Structure 1
Amino acid sequence: MSQYIPSISPSSLAKKVILITGGANGIGASLVTQCLEYGANVCIGDLDGVSGERLLKECRDKFPPEEEDSPPRVIFQPTDVSIYPSVLALFDLAFKTYKRIDHVVSAAGIVEIGNWFDTALTMETVRQTPTHQVLDVNLLGSMYVCRIASVYLRHNRGSNCDRSILLFSCVSGFKDSPSLFIYQASKHGVVGLMRSLRTYISSPYKHYLRINTVCPWVTQTNSIKKVEAQWKGAGLPINTPKQVATVATGVLTDQTLNGKSMFIEGGRAWEIEENIGQLESEWLGEAPSRTLALGQGLLDDGTVWNAPERPQKKSTISVGVPPGVPLGKLKGLTNGVKHTISNGVSNGMSNGLTNGVH
């Protein structure tokens, strides 16, 4: 595993347009501020309208537009990422204001709600449908953002113009998180979404976009209140929102990064995808790893799954002949079969040649 050290030049985000969901609080808010500091224009989407409006005012006071007739450096719109039209409206706002979008960050997320596998469940209480809000926000929301971003990022772009999507997962995206059942499933899904898109979406013949994931460990936000005291008592590292934002900003600006996942602990980042692939033969075994590589190579960027099916042509040779039955054993059909074969071949060739000439 290699350590990733962000390298951000002062002009790396100058005049770039960055859309950030979940940008009103915590890591998202730190990322908003940092992007503005590096010269970007930012469109914030968040369900928390109160915090969003407060952050908007603070940032507008601190980061005014360079010219009087220029649009504001930062805009905000209340957004529920689990509702498709709400996400679409956020992209429309950004595009209408700035005429393009350069980078999209899906940072909206919530923690576990209730206990899906509570040992107190009974034959009666298990009949009540549990909430799936965590899945809707964390995973479905990320999928909505990626789908819309894949279209909007392609418009009004110049030649050699870098565009990217950055998804927020966490350690639960690749490591056991007992009792965080739905949260972990959703964060695994976010990493899986990135992996399914990283070859397809980067293709010059498709979207030509970069996509990466950041996976912060315990970070100083409201979500860690239940474990904060024990964590600090054990001397374990805690990220600050600003540290995570710095890694995220580095990934946004580094045009060499695609399909990577950054594990962040104590402000330090470690890329995990490369070694998962390089060490596959060790943890999976050499023989299955070779076979897996052949299959993955055949599937390539996955286009085969979405290719339209071609209608199968029926052969005139086998018409009327039961499969697996030798022709010689079909009493009285020999002449009919020969006739069908000869007619099929001769007619097919003559018709094909004739049509080809005309």
Structure 2
Amino acid sequence: MSQYIPQISSQSLREKVVLITGGANGIGASLVQQCLESGANVCVGDLDNIAGERLQRKYQEQFQPEEGQPPRVVFQTTDVTNYQSVLALFDFAFNKFKRIDHVVSAAGIVEIGNWFDFGLTLETVRETPTHKVLDVNLLGSMYVSRIASVYLRHNRGPNVDRSILLFSCVSGFKDSPSLFVYQSSKHGVIGLMRSLRGYVSSPYKHYLRINTICPWMTETEAIRKIEDQWKLADLPTNTPREVSTVATSMLADSSLNGTSMVVEGGRSWEIEDNIDRLEAQWLGEQSSKTLAAGQLFLDDGAIWTALPRKKSSISNGVPPGVPLDKLGGIQDHVNKMQIYGVTNGASNSITHGVH
């Protein structure tokens, strides 16, 4: 695992426009401040309008714009579980600053109740449990990412870096007993990033970066219930500032795409590279080769969503979504797959075998 050393300055995000959901409190509020200190203009969206408006007043006084320019920080009440509310936030930012450079999905909540309470009975299990945690943490991230993938493309001159940063958690990859819905949602956030990192970054599509940050225990309201016991056990915690330092650096670092950055005790490590590098060891060499061949065949995933091609193309064994200019290379991959015991997706109903 490679340690990531954040590198930021007052010029790291100079004149960039950063949109942050969940920016009124905790880590999100710290990130707003640090982006401003790094030269950015910031649009904040949060359901907590009292804290959001207080933050706006504070930082508008502290960070003055150049003459004739809009305020350095603006706030709009936003419910990330409401698609139109998220869309309105992007409209607000775009109209105010004329472009958006980076988008951060930081809105999140912790577990509510106990989905798998041992006290459930045949009667009480009939009551539909709340799925608010899933809606805020995962659906909200999907809404933000979908809209961001469009707005980030506009008013961006040549060679201008644009990115999306999603907030997951250590629970996104490590067991978190009793956090049933929370952990599922945070796993989903990492899955969302992985599904998008090769898709939105392709030059013939959006050419955007997307990354995930995974803080461990951080000194926010979310851990108040266990904070004292945690510290008595002499276990490390992050401050919101330490997490926001890593997040700010990830926004400014144009070399990062498809990474998951774990933050523990103020230090950070990237985990995706080693998951891939060590795959043959934990999956098995032969299975790893077969998986790699399949991934090469699937390319950027357009096979799942593209409209069917003419029958002549399909009859030649080319599934919809496979770029025609890659036919030679695809056939090589298909041949390799057949060697490993995997047949062409056009003849084995590959669309029913999503991994």
Q: Please tell me the residue identity of whatever aligns with 2:49.
A: G
Tell me the TM-score normalised to structure 2 length. 0.87
Equivalent residues in 2 for 1:113-132 (5 A)? 113-132=112-131
Aligned counterparts of 2:226 and 2:285: Cα–Cα separation in 1: 41
Counterparts of 1:307 and 1:253, CA distance in 2: 33
Q: Could you tell me which residue of structure 1 aligns to residue 48 of structure 2?
A: 48
Q: Distance in 2 between matches of 1:224 and 1:37?
A: 27
Q: Counterpart in 2 of 1:138?
A: 137
Share of identical aligned residues, percent? 72
The residue aligned with 2:7 is 7
Q: Does 1:36 find its partner at 2:33? A: no
Letter in 2 for 1:124: E
Separation in 2, partners of 1:114, 1:147 = 30
- Partner SS, residue 52 of structure 1: helix
What is the root-mean-square deviation in Å for CA atoms of aligned residues? 0.8
Aligned partner of 2:210 in structure 1 is 211
Larger radius of gyration: 1
- How many residues end up aligned between the 2 structures? 312
Q: What residue identity is the alignment partner of 1:310?
A: R
Query: Displacement, 1:85?
Result: 0.2
Aligned to 2:25: 25
**Alpha-carbon distance between aligned partners in 2 of 1:39 and 1:246, rounded to the nearest angstrom:** 14
Question: CA deviation digits over 1:72-98, x for unaligned, max 9?
Answer: 000000000000000000000000000
1:75 is aligned to: 74
In the TM superposition, residue 306 of structure 1 has moved relative to its aligned partner by 1.3
> Any idea what SS the aligned residue of 1:77 has?
strand
Matched residue SS, 1:12:
coil
Runs of 4+ in 1 over 6 A off after TM superposition: none
TM-score (norm 1): 0.86
Distance 1:34 1:24 in 2: 13
* Displacement of 1:312: 4.0
Q: CA deviation at 1:9?
A: 3.5
1:224 is displaced (CA, Å) by: 0.5
For residues 5 and 24 of structure 1, what CA distance do their matches in structure 2 show? 26
More deviation in 18-27 or 301-310? 301-310
Structure 2 runs not aligned, ≥5 long: 313-355
Equivalent AA in structure 2 for residue 3 of structure 1:
Q
Q: Which amino acid aligns with 1:226?
A: K
Matched, 1:293 2:298: no
Q: For residues 129 and 302 of structure 2, what CA distance do their matches in structure 1 show? A: 36
Matched, 1:170 2:169: yes
Give the 3-state SS of the residue equivalent to 1:305 in structure 2: helix
Question: Could you list the runs of 5+ residues in structure 1 that have no partner in the other structure?
Answer: 314-358
Query: What does residue range 68-107 of structure 1 map to in structure 2 within 5 Å?
Result: 69-107=68-106
Residue 257 in 1 paired to residue 256 in 2? Answer: yes
CA shift, 1:307, in A, is 1.5
- Aligned position for 1:189: 188
Distance, in Å, in 2 between the alignment partners of 1:77 and 1:194 is 26
